Amino acid sequence: MFSTMSKTLSTGGLICRNFSSSTKRQAKVAVLGASGGIGQPMSLLIKQNPLVSHLSLYDIAHTPGVAADLSHINSAAKVTGHMGPDQLSACLDKCDIVVIPAGVPRKPGMTRDDLFNTNASIVRDLTDACARVCPQAMICIIANPVNSTVPITAEVFKKHNAFDPKRIFGVTTLDVVRANAFIAEAKGLDAAEVSCPVVGGHAGITIVPLISQCKPAVSFDADKLDAMTKRIQDAGTEVVKAKAGAGSATLSMAFAGARFTFSLLNAMKGKTGVIECAYVKSNETDASYFATPIHLGPNGMEKNLGLGKLSAYEKDLVEKAIPELKASIKKGEDFVHK
């Protein structure tokens, strides 16, 4: 893990023009929900990235303490803490990237969609502030249900005439991280060297690992392929069950959220060839939002790299994902317009 990260961190040669101020060499990153199970460790990781000049932390609780604690780390990023709605605009002012893990996590027996009633309004209100204060920022949504919270974000930005589909991302990086870890474990490979795209959405059968496109190439018997696919699809539930009421994945999500943020930072400063899977506005399938590998550049999504060549098994998985995705997207869009 850290070998990959240190490769990312060691790249030099910053380009100024892509961040919000032409004189600024580095980026302001905000974390909304910064005091939470994901927010704290993810902020710790982001604090270490030399491309970050200002790490701005927002939550409805505990942000002064989290910010004071992180600010004692001797890395370059300045840290500020902002608590409660009155301080949200200050947190977002001149932000280049906003990462949003604010919201409640699952307990055993719940689906991600069961979080909709609580998290939809949290994401709507936070992204409304983003659309007002930092409409050009890259918005990275972690809060579940991602399949609906990303369409919510898009509709909020449309209301402000600020919608740019290249700048709104559902963070599905954890699905890729898990696929890489599980495949490496099964095949005795170095997990840091495995790269398996995961497409579709971020809930149950909408999570579609494309194991036929894994690098290095791997093969599984049909029953083992099915078991591996199901493990990746159900990995979030595996953690929810293991935590037995104490929440869902936090540390692995912090790692995944930091990885996606670092990829964006690198692409925004001009690094070429940066590719991550993310859930974005899409024309690749009948679902109007769909995760695929995307090429990141200075202005966000440079190019959607699409699904590539699918096996018959994967085509079937994609077909099965689409009705649920469409329903989750509609639910999110309707929520904003109700």
Catalytic residues: 202
CB of 222 to ligand NAD, least distance (A): 28
Residue 247 partner contact from ligand NAD, ligand LMR, none using kind-dependent CB cut-offs of 5 to 8 Å = ligand NAD
Among 283, 284, 253, 278, residue whose Cα is nearest residue 263: 278
Among 18, 26, 35, 56, binds ligand NAD (CB under 6 A): 35
DSSP-assigned letters across all residues of 216-256? S-----HHHHHHHHHHHHTHHHHHHHHHTTS-S--HHHHHH
Smallest CA-to-CA distance from 53 within 33, 23, 89, 83 is with 23
- Find the binder of ligand LMR among 154, 174, 318, 325 (CB under 6 A): 174
Q: Are 116 and 92 in contact (CB under 8 A)?
A: no
| Contact residue for ligand NAD among 83, 122, 267, 318 (CB under 6 A) | 122
Cβ atoms of residues 152 and 332 within 8 Å: yes
Q: Total residues contacting ligand LMR (rule CB under 6 A)?
A: 12
Closest Cα to residue 295, out of 268, 270, 271, 276? 276
| Alpha-carbon gap, residue 219 to 212, rounded angstroms | 8
For ligand LMR, the closer CB: 37 or 293: 37
Q: What is the largest CA-CA distance in the chain?
A: 56
If the CB atoms of residues 59 and 96 are measured against ligand NAD, the closer one turns out to be 59
N-term to C-term CA, the chain: 44
Number of H helices, E strands in the chain: 11, 11
Judged by CB under 6 A, which stretch of 38-46, 214-222, 232-240, 316-324 contacts ligand LMR? 232-240
> Pick from 106, 124, 167, 281: which binds ligand LMR (CB under 6 A)?
106
Q: Which is nearer to ligand LMR, 239 or 268 (CB)?
A: 239
Peptide bond into 108 cis (omega under 30): no
The tokens describing 241, both together, are 């069950």
Instruction: Output Rg (C-alpha) for the chain, integer angstroms.
Output: 19
From residue 94 to residue 113, the character string flagging contacts with ligand NAD as x (rule: CB under 6 A) and all else as - is -------xxxxxx-------
249 touches ligand LMR by CB under 6 A: yes
- Token readout for 115 is 């979080």
Supply angle C-alpha 258, 4, 309, rounded to 5. 85
Q: Which of ligand LMR, ligand NAD, none binds 239 (CB below 5-8 Å, type-dependent)?
A: ligand LMR
When asked if residue 204 is in the footprint of ligand NAD (CB under 6 A), the reply is no
112 scored as a contact of ligand LMR (CB under 6 A): yes
Among 27, 33, 266, 328, binds ligand NAD (CB under 6 A): 33
Range 156-195, binding ligand NAD (CB under 6 A):
171, 174
Residues of this chain that interact with ligand NAD (CB under 6 A) are: 32-33, 35-39, 58-61, 101-106, 115, 119, 122, 126, 142-144, 146, 171, 174, 202, 247-250, 253
Residues of this chain that interact with ligand LMR (CB under 6 A) are: 105-106, 112, 144, 174, 202, 236-237, 239-240, 248-249
